[in-house]
């Protein structure tokens, strides 16, 4: 473990809590930001960073990732994934329960927390997964950001797809429920209709917009009935966004992935099964409606759904090819490139990728650059454009759906708890993150 330090970051263009970008000096001590000022002259830091020309943002909190440990480490593990996070400016992540064994008990949750404490270079939290049988664990397990329900696109026992089975989970307890909203019955019917077709483009027709809408409607219905805190994971369709625009209860949040903003069904022609994910990619119209819903606050924040599979696995013929794409190394540059193109502002990106996530999950002291907040920070370069290159990726699966895309806003230096975990291409593998807590 590295020694705790005091760090002085000089003259970075810094995002302030009110969304303004101003040149500031930022001083951290141990794990905390202790001062933000136009100039700090009386400090004796252990390390100083000249950040002139760079932009300082709160570290990204990625609220939906699949890091594959335990059980599927040939795809990714907590060490490789957290190194990829550090490179991507992601300083905290919330990981999903479809590992092996599934994270459906306190014991499985404790096992993940112990593994993470040993090998994660960024901060971590783990969801508990719902099965029709594990209600007592869902109510009591901790610490966890919430209960993950696969309403469709299941992983083994992780499927709760009928109103009868969902109702007791919504009725009991008060912790956040995060849903993968796809209607399994519709997917099953459509699979039969399209059976024998091996063109991966059919994936978006089988698991179509209606499959997503039906499940989102059911989750909203139950959430309203019990006034239960609900989060809709990776919302992918115009129809769901319009539904929320009409009437979104104050206790409901929604997220979108960069893939569903930036990619659409045309990606199948270019990258084939690498573009296969659940929920699937949609049309350019869906892209536009999702962007607008994000800008209007109908969708609250961004998650990558980082879901690595090996190239060999992905090379299998559809439907044997697995669904999912990696994302933690490209999410921040993609969104900041969007900001530079005028799709949104840097302040909005910060809100969607840090501030709003910390608020939604009640993660204390994160997502803002101000005195007293945790020193989880990222310095990005908004002046240079560089392509996404396979050979530079740190995710174990070593591919990206965005290879060749010319992006700006790459992390130059990432800081976790006041320690430099990534600097100009190198990960400091000695750094360890901490377990997140949830309000
Ligand atoms: O495409 C996906 N793959 N979507 C998910 O929600 C799960 C993921 C995985 O774990 O592979």
Write the Ramachandran bin of 433: left for phi over 0, alpha for psi from -120 to 50, otherwise beta: beta
Which DSSP string corresponds to 56-83? EEEPEEEEEE---TTT-TTT--HHHHHH
CA of 256 to the centre of ligand 1 (A): 14
State the distance from the centre of ligand 1 to the C-alpha of 69, rounded, in angstroms.
14
Q: With 90 as the cut, is the pLDDT of residue 136 above it?
A: no
Question: Which residues contact ligand 1 via a Cβ below 6 A?
Answer: 66, 98, 180, 277-278, 305, 307, 323-324
- pLDDT class for 74, splitting at 50, 70, 90? very high
Q: Atom 4 of ligand 1 has which residue's CA nearest to it?
A: 278
* pTM higher than the cut 0.95: yes
| Active-site residue set | 305
Quote the CA–CA distance of 88 and 76 in Å, as a whole number: 16
pLDDT of residue 3: 52
β pairing state of 301-302 and 6-15: unpaired
In sequence order, what are the residues at sequence separation of 6 or more whose Cβ sits closer than 8 angstroms to the Cβ of residue 279? 153, 180, 181, 182, 207, 211, 212, 234, 236, 237, 260
Between the CA of 267 and the centroid of ligand 1 the distance, in Å, is: 18
Ligand 1 atom having least distance to the Cα of 180:
6
Distance 277 CA to ligand 1 centre (A): 6
Nearest residue (by CA) to ligand 1, atom 6, is 278
Tens digit of pLDDT for each residue in 200-247?
999 999 999 999 999 999 999 999 999 999 999 999 999 999 999 999
Give residue-wise pLDDT tens across range 304-344: 999 999 999 999 999 999 999 999 999 999 999 999 999 99
Please write the tens of the pLDDT for every residue from 340-383: 999 999 999 999 999 999 999 999 999 999 999 999 999 999 99
Say yes or no to pLDDT of 18 above 70. yes
Angle (deg, nearest 10), helices 238-246 and 209-226: 30
Rama region for 228: left / alpha / beta (φ>0; ψ in -120 to 50; rest): beta
Which atom of ligand 1 is the closest one to the Cα of 96?
10
pLDDT at 60: 99
Mean pLDDT of the chain: 97
């Amino acid at each position: 473990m590295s020694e705790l330090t005091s760090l002085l970051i000089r003259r970075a263009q810094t995002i302030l809590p009110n969304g303004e970008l101003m040149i500031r000096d930022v001083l951290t001590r141990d794990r905390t930001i202790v001062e933000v000022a136009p100039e700090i002259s009386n400090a004796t830091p252990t390390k100083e960073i000249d950040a002139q020309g760079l932009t300082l943002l709160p570290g990204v909190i990625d609220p939906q990732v699949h890091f594959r440990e335990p059980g599927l480490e040939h795809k990714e593990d907590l060490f490789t994934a957290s190194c990829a996070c550090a490179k991507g400016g992601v300083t905290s992540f919330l990981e999903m329960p479809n590992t092996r064994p599934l994270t459906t008990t306190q014991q499985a949750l404790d096992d993940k927390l112990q593994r993470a404490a040993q090998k994660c270079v960024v901060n971590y939290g783990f969801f508990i997964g719902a099965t029709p049988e594990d209600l007592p664990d869902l109510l009591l397990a901790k610490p966890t950001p919430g209960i993950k329900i696969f309403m469709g696109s299941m992983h083994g026992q992780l499927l709760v797809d009928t109103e009868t089975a969902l109702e007791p989970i919504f009725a009991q307890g008060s912790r956040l429920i995060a849903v993968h909203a796809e209607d399994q019955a519709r997917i099953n019917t459509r699979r039969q209709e399209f059976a024998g077709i091996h063109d991966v483009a059919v994936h978006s027709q089988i698991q179509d917009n209606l499959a997503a809408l039906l499940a989102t409607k059911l989750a909203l219905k139950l959430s309203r009935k019990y006034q239960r805190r609900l989060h809709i994971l990776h919302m992918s369709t115009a129809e769901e966004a319009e539904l929320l625009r009409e009437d979104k209860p104050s206790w409901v949040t929604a997220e979108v992935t960069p893939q569903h903003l930036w990619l659409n069904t045309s990606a199948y022609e270019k990258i084939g099964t690498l573009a296969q994910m659940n929920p699937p990619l949609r049309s350019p119209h869906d892209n536009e409606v999702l962007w607008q819903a994000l800008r209007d606050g109908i969708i609250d924040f961004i998650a990558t759904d980082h879901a690595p599979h090996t190239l060999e696995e992905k090379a299998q013929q559809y439907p044997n090819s697995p669904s999912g794409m990696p994302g933690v190394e490209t999410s921040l540059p993609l969104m900041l490139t969007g900001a530079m193109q005028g799709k949104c502002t840097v302040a909005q990106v910060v809100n969607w990728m840090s501030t709003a996530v910390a608020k939604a999950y009640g993660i204390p002291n994160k997502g803002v650059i101000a005195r007293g907040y945790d020193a989880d920070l990222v310095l990005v370069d908004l002046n240079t454009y560089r392509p996404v290159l396979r050979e530079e990726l740190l995710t174990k699966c070593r591919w990206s759906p965005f290879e060749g895309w010319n992006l700006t806003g790459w992390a130059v230096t990432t800081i976790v708890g006041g320690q430099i975990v990534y600097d100009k291409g190198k990960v400091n593998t000695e750094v360890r993150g901490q377990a997140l807590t949830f309000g």
